[in-house]
């Protein structure tokens, strides 16, 4: 972060979901402040990030302290990145700022205020809004505000320049960022696909950065000590030649602590890309694979092109022939998707055995074409962000609430990786989804809670369910739960394991422990409320 001998005139700010997230968008703006008509502004600009868990008043106090007192330096500007997960908190921050210092010019940008912004309270509070890309438009706007002529328009459509006219942001990652946070990078922007639940459906195509320049920037990060790279490209494996070059770059720099996250198109995995993927050892590659639905009718409704047979075959290959960690996504609540058809898709995916299945619930993102299905499919969404679907024509509100509980329990038991052996036993039956739904219903009735459930409480619940409801032999279940508990690294004493002897102090195998820690840490990499 740039050191300022005096308070800055411009602050770039956003509220991240967690500290580990570092805003790529703000760093793009910071890197481009001296370009596109903004000469001399970079030295006057400060980046300040907060988390949504911090109180709006604390954030306002910190921002005002960063700007210093209003003085003869002239107008001061704060630009906010607004997203679906921080809308309510950012709105309150802007409201408090305007009360305390109405002279500060507030500029908004980001996906949550780039579409359907006309009635949004935060837009009414702000002085300016840049919709779409801000790399060029934000520096130009700041220069106009500070030096004139004053901008006449409140809402400005962001300019979309060729990518070679945008300064890459990676030098803006601090040493502290490299040491403690996820580093978001992108080899391309945009997406050629038109899945209607996703904002990327509005893109005309995908645009690639110059690969030589991009890899040079990655090498500079690597030389500074960066080892964790999260690619935010919507379709990393769209252009196979580029994908292979990126993978070759990192394979040549392979270290024990290297970690790479990519979002891949599930039905596009040609042999030469497979050959490259197979060369990576365990613990390095993590693939986020958006399945969303296996229902062909639903796929057609939402304009999603996906070859289900190829998708299954590629996932099976990745699980059996590579060391990549698979984080797969399904979305419940899509138009026309029933609980039964979703269960069929879940069972189909579960049978392949990916390491994680993220059970998302449809959100109506502003600007997406999903709005055209509202009347026909009986879609009802929450009026407030993150605009989660409350019911559809084929899923009533009670079923939606039931699924939300199931998704929460699935994260705690399955995606946590703590209960591998006992989970496999729990999921036995003609339908793995129905088996887990039965447990979810029982756990809700037994505990009445979806939060505050410790691993020990979950272990005791599994014991009660597997021995009581499922009537498995008591001592056999205790041994399975003990094995899971010790393997997870936990060292407490759940009630169901009292009296059992085990070497609870034995450490996990080094490679397994390192992999688990990295993947647990980077399992938090997706911003909340995203879908795509």
Cβ proximity of 319 and 281 under 8 Å: no
Residue 506 lies in a domain: yes
pLDDT of residue 371: 92
Indicate if the pLDDT at residue 527 is higher than 80.
Answer: no
Of 221, 215, 217, 216, the residue nearest 179 (C-alpha): 221
* pLDDT-derived band at 74, boundaries 50, 70, 90: confident
Which residues are paired to 457 by β-bridges? none
Q: Give the span between the Cα atoms of 431 and 137, in whole angstroms.
A: 53
From the number of C-beta atoms within 10 Å of its C-beta (0-12, 13-18, 19+), residue 501 rates as exposed
Give the pLDDT confidence score for residue 531 in this predicted structure.
Answer: 61
Q: What is the mean pLDDT of residues 474-485?
A: 94
Residue 529 predicted with pLDDT over 70: no
In the predicted structure, residue 499 carries a pLDDT above the cut 50: yes
Cis preceding-peptide flag for 149 (omega within 30 of 0): yes
Q: How high is the pLDDT of residue 36?
A: 66
Instruction: Please indicate, yes or no, whether residues 63 and 208 belong to a single structural domain of this protein.
Output: no
HEC profile of 121-177: HHHHHCCEEEECCCCCHHHHHHHHHHHCCCCCCCEEECCCCCHHHCCCCHHHCCHHH
Query: Does pLDDT of 281 surpass 60?
Result: yes
Q: Among residues of the chain, what percentage have pLDDT more than 90?
A: 83
Rounded-to-integer distance, Cα 466 and Cα 276, Å: 43
378/493 same-domain check: no
Closest by CA position to 168, among listed 210, 129, 124? 210
**Residue 506: predicted pLDDT:** 42
Task: Check residue 71 and give its pLDDT.
Answer: 56
Span 405-421, mean pLDDT? 96
Structural contact between residues 286 and 328, judged by C-beta atoms closer than 8 angstroms: no
Structural domain contains residue 5: no
For residue 418, what are the contacts with CB-CB under 8 A and spacing of at least 6?
455, 458, 484, 485, 488, 490
Q: Clarify whether residues 139 and 187 are in a common domain.
A: no
β-sheet bridge partners, residue 153: none
Secondary structure letter of residue 280 according to DSSP: S
Residue 513, pLDDT > 50, answer: no
Is the pLDDT reported for residue 233 higher than 60?
A: yes
From residue 490, alpha-carbon distances to 298, 481, 493, 502, 505 in Å are: 42, 12, 9, 12, 9
Give yes or no: residues 18 and 133 share one domain: yes
d(CA 526, CA 83): 13
Q: What is the mean pLDDT of residues 450-454?
A: 94
Domain with residue 375: its CATH number is 3.80.30.20
- Asked whether residue 168 is domain-assigned, the answer is no
Decide if 525 is inside a domain: no
Q: Do residues 145 and 189 share a domain?
A: no
pLDDT of residue 38: 64
Q: Which of 489, 490, 492 is nearest to 513 (CA)?
A: 489
In this prediction, residue 60 carries a pLDDT of 97
Q: Is residue 403 part of a domain?
A: no
- Determine how many CB atoms are found less than 10 A away from the CB of residue 18: 14
158 plus 239 within the same structural domain: no
Number of domains in the chain: 3
What mean pLDDT, rounded, does the chain reach? 91
Average pLDDT over residues 360-382: 95
* pLDDT value of residue 496: 92
373 with 445, same domain: the answer is: no
Instruction: Indicate the residue among 163, 193, 213 that finishes a domain.
Output: 163
Dihedral sign (CA 168, 171, 177, 183): positive
Task: Note whether 457 and 360 are same-domain residues.
Answer: no
φ and ψ at residue 289, rounded to 5 degrees: -120, 110
Provide the pLDDT confidence category of residue 413 given band limits of 50, 70 and 90.
very high
pLDDT bracket for residue 398 (50, 70, 90): very high
159 and 238 inside one domain: no
pLDDT at 6: 65
pLDDT at 270 over 60: yes
Give me the pLDDT at residue 201, please: 75
Residue 295 resides in a domain: yes
Co-location of 230 and 333 in the same domain: yes
Q: At which of 131, 163, 195 does a domain end?
A: 163
Q: How confident is the model at residue 37 (pLDDT cuts 50, 70, 90)?
A: low
pLDDT at 493: 81
Q: Do 60 and 504 meet the contact criterion of CB atoms below 8 Å apart?
A: no
Residue 361 lies in a domain: yes
Q: Each residue of 206-223: pLDDT tens digit?
A: 899 999 999 999 999 999
Beta bridge partners of 106: 78
Q: Say if residue 522's pLDDT is above 70.
A: no
174 inside domain: no
User: pLDDT tens, 41-72?
Assistant: 999 999 999 999 999 999 999 999 998 865 55
Q: How many CB atoms lie within 10 A of CB 397?
A: 12
Per-residue confidence at 525, pLDDT binned at 50, 70, 90? Answer: very low
Question: What's the pLDDT score for residue 322?
Answer: 97
What's the pLDDT score for residue 296? Answer: 97
Residues 198 and 80 in one domain: no
% of the chain exceeding 70 in pLDDT:
91
List phi, psi (to 5°) of 117: -90, -10
Domain range for 150 is 10-163
Length of the chain: 532
Query: Is residue 332 exposed (0-12), middle (13-18) or buried (19+ Cβ within 10 Å)?
Result: buried
- Note the pLDDT of residue 1: 41
Both 389 and 427 in one domain: the answer is no
Q: Do 435 and 469 form a contact (C-beta atoms < 8 A)?
A: no
Given 119, 135, 163, which residue is the final one in a domain?
Answer: 163
233's tokens: 């490209």
What's the pLDDT at 490? 80
């Amino acid at each position: 972060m740039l050191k300022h001998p005096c308070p800055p005139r411009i602050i770039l700010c956003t509220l991240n979901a967690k500290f580990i997230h570092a805003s790529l968008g703000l760093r793009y703006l910071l890197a481009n402040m001296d370009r596109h008509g903004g000469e001399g502004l970079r030295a006057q600009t400060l980046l300040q990030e907060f988390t949504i868990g911090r109180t709006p008043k604390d954030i306002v106090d910190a921002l005002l302290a960063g700007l210093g007192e209003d003085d003869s330096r002239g107008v001061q500007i704060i630009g906010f990145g607004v997203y679906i997960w921080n809308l309510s908190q950012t709105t309150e921050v802007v409201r408090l700022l305007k009360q305390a210092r109405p002279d500060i010019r507030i500029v908004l940008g980001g996906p949550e205020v780039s579409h359907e912004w006309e009635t949004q309270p935060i837009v009414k509070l702000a002085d300016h809004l840049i919709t779409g890309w801000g790399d060029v438009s934000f520096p130009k706007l700041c220069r106009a505000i500070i030096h004139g002529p004053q901008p006449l328009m409140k809402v400005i459509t962001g300019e979309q320049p060729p990518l070679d006219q945008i300064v890459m942001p990676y030098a803006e990652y601090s040493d502290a960022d490299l040491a403690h946070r996820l580093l978001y990078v992108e080899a391309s922007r945009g997406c050629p696909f038109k899945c209607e639940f996703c904002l990327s459906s509005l893109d005309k195509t995908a645009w690639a950065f110059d690969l030589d320049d991009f890899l040079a920037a990655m090498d500079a990060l690597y030389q500074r000590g960066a080892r964790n790279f999260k690619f935010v490209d919507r379709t990393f494996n769209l252009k196979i030649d580029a994908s292979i070059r990126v993978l070759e770059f990192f394979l040549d720099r392979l270290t024990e602590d290297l970690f790479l996250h990519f979002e891949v198109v599930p039905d596009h995995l040609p042999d030469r890309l497979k050959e490259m993927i197979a060369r990576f050892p365990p613990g390095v590659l993590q693939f986020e694979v958006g399945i969303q639905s296996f229902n062909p009718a639903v796929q057609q409704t939402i304009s999603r092109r996906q070859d289900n047979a190829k998708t299954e075959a590629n996932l099976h290959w990745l699980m059996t022939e590579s060391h990549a960690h698979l984080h797969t996504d399904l979305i419940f609540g899509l138009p026309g998707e029933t609980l039964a058809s979703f269960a069929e898709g879940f069972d189909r995916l579960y049978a392949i055995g990916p390491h994680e299945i993220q059970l998302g619930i449809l959100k109506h993102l502003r600007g997406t074409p999903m709005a055209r299905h509202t009347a026909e499919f009986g879609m009802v969404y929450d009026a407030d962000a993150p605009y989660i679907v409350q019911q559809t024509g084929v899923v009533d509100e009670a079923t939606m609430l039931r699924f939300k509980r199931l998704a929460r329990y699935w994260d705690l038991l399955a995606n946590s990786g703590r209960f591998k052996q006992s989970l496999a036993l729990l999921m036995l039956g003609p339908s793995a989804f129905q088996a887990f739904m039965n447990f979810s219903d029982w756990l809700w009735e037994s505990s009445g809670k979806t939060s505050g459930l410790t691993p020990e409480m979950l272990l005791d619940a599994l014991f009660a369910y597997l021995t009581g409801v499922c009537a498995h032999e008591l001592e056999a279940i205790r041994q399975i739960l003990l094995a899971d508990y010790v393997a997870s690294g936990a060292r407490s004493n759940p009630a169901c394991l009292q009296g059992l002897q085990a070497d609870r102090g034995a450490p996990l195998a080094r490679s397994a422990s390192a992999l688990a820690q990295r993947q647990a840490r980077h399992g938090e990499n997706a911003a909340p409320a995203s879908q795509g």
